[in-house]
Amino acid sequence: MPTAGQRMSRKFGLSANSSQFTLEGEPFCILGGSIHYFRVPRAYWRDRLMKMKACGINTLTTFVPWSLHQPQREVFNFRTQLDLEAYINLAAELGLWVILRPGPYISSELDLGGLPSWLLQDGNMRVRTTYPGFTKAVNIFFDKLIPKVVPLQFKKGGPIIAVQVENEYGSFAKDDTYMTFVKEISEVEETKSESHSGSEHYPGRCHFFIITHTVFKEPTMVMDYWTGWYDVWGDLHHVLPPEDMVSTVREILKRGMSVNLYMFHGGSSFGFISGGLAEPSYKALVPSYDYDAPLSEAGEYTQKYHLLRDLFSQFNKFPDLPVLQPKEAYEPAIMYQHLSLWDALSFTEGPLKSDTPVNMENLPMNNKNGQSHGYTLYETTIASGGLLKSGNNVKDRALVSCNVPRELKKTTEGPRTLSLLVENCGRVHRGRDLDKQRKGLVGDILLNNIPLREFTIYSLEMKPSFIYKFAPWKTLAENPSFPSFFMGQLFLYKYPSDTFVKLPTPMMTFCSVQFCVQFLTS
């Protein structure tokens, strides 16, 4: 049987007979593991995939995040960190097969399940259905995506042996014709797409991915065996005992089934791309996607990794363990400059004047594609104090301040400026209410039961291009004004090594951190 790295014309792809999978006509057991290219710095793709290969995994699985690849209707990004073709080719070079999971909805604990937020500008939008506004957008994205992966399919000499379209539709199921639509737009010449048929549960958390029709007579695959779980703010770190994980994988293999470990290596949900949970009450997900996976967030071997390697050694031969990347503990970073939010407003796009509040997605930013992430500042003028009511129209939380307008300096009379700095903590990544995940102020705010009007709205999407404009920075005073942006220095006395940043507890109150790192060499 050819290896994933061999480029040749092949006749027989992944198939199923009465008892097992075959690849190129030979028996084949899928030992899969999930590593998402968008959650691992590109410089470490090779390191992580080599460690996957050294564990005995023969198949890489990865989602494709629509929201990252098409951040605006007219903008597509398949470069640098999002170079999907380079990632798949690297997998082939290292001898790994690939199962591609392009969505369009992927969940994956991403903001809006990986769907782009500009879809929500349509007030009637119904995602994951055959609603024309949604299907038109999906078709445009797939028209860009499919040509990139067609040359990488198995029969054309590439490593992609299967494609899973959509994800866990059984838990959503609002449209009986939707899965047929997604399957049809994913099928091109010599491409076979299999749909996720449902979510039966196996002890230890997993999904059954039924590739054929009869569960007990034909091959089955546990497409998502959860090696751990994701974390939310305020909860404990989720773990799955190594012994429990490996015993379940052993049982799956004993039954002649294939398996995919979700996640084999989780990595990090960079920036603001993490999603949220809607039930039983809203909670935001943490950006770490360590997942208690066999390969840690930092790329380190764990007990789970070594147990799996011992188990998989009976199936194939694999290389020695790659050397771990060096790590370093550094001295505390020193904050020495700051810029108040108010001083930073001159660098924003806009502002927008509106009689009523406008939610993030409908702001005329980013070539009229709205605001996806970050903060939005709503300011209005009030004549007196009183009781402020949000009526659940703040998504997801707001820092409220009231002071006199800047031009009145410190006078104690006259109108006051009421400011609401609203943070989008992450749209939920699953559930039946994805269409309702608009952020910012999504309705009226009442002062003494009277709706506030005449807003000035600033978009703070926290893109690097916005931060890089800041000037001049001010020397950090003993009592700086808040909210503020801070600039500091981390001193490195040799070539930089891997590390992590820890924030002291007092800094965590209404604190969102974005790090822009520059290494200056003499």
Q: At which residue do the structure tokens 């020495």 appear?
A: 336
Question: CA 296, CA 291: separation in Å to the nearest integer?
Answer: 8
CA-wise closest residue to 185 among 147, 142, 127, 152: 142
Instruction: List the domain boundaries for the chain.
Output: 31-312, 339-463
SS (H, E, C) 445-456: CEECCEECCCEE
Intrachain domains 31-312 and 339-463 with the same fold? no
Q: What is the mean pLDDT of the chain?
A: 88
Within 8 A by CB and 6+ apart from 173, the residues are none
Q: Is 166 exposed, middle or buried (0-12, 13-18, 19+ CB in 10 A)?
A: buried
Q: Quick one: pLDDT at residue 17? A: 76
Q: Quick one: pLDDT at residue 193? A: 41
Amino acid at 344: A
Question: CA 35, CA 438: separation in Å to the nearest integer?
Answer: 29
Residue 190, pLDDT above cutoff 50: no
Amino acid at 310: D
Question: CA 139, CA 147: separation in Å to the nearest integer?
Answer: 13
Q: In this structure, are residues 483 and 421 in contact, taking their beta carbons and an 8 Å threshold?
A: yes
Q: Quick one: pLDDT at residue 509? A: 46
Q: Quick one: pLDDT at residue 202? A: 29
Q: Are strands 221-226 and 258-262 parallel, antiparallel or unpaired?
A: parallel
Question: Could you tell me which CATH number the domain at 31-312 has?
Answer: 3.20.20.80
Please report how many Cα atoms fall inside a 13 Å half-sphere around the Cα of residue 91, on the Cβ side: 30
Residues 333-355 pLDDT 10s:
888 999 999 999 999 988 999 99
CA-wise closest residue to 198 among 184, 217, 179: 179
Residues 235-288 pLDDT 10s:
999 999 999 999 999 999 999 999 999 999 999 999 999 999 998 899 999 999
Confidence of residue 505 (pLDDT cuts 50, 70, 90): low
The pair phi, psi for residue 417, each rounded to 5°, is -95, 120
CA dihedral (234, 240, 242, 245) positive or negative: negative
Question: CA 140, CA 498: separation in Å to the nearest integer?
Answer: 39
Cut 0.85: pTM above it: yes
Question: CA 145, CA 82: separation in Å to the nearest integer?
Answer: 12
Q: At which residue do the structure tokens 């049982």 appear?
A: 251
Question: CA 235, CA 254: separation in Å to the nearest integer?
Answer: 35
Q: Quick one: pLDDT at residue 192? A: 41
Residues 43-93 pLDDT 10s:
999 999 999 999 999 999 999 999 999 999 999 999 999 999 999 999 999
Class of domain 339-463: mainly beta
Q: In this structure, are residues 191 and 127 in contact, taking their beta carbons and an 8 Å threshold?
A: no
Residue 121, pLDDT above cutoff 80: yes
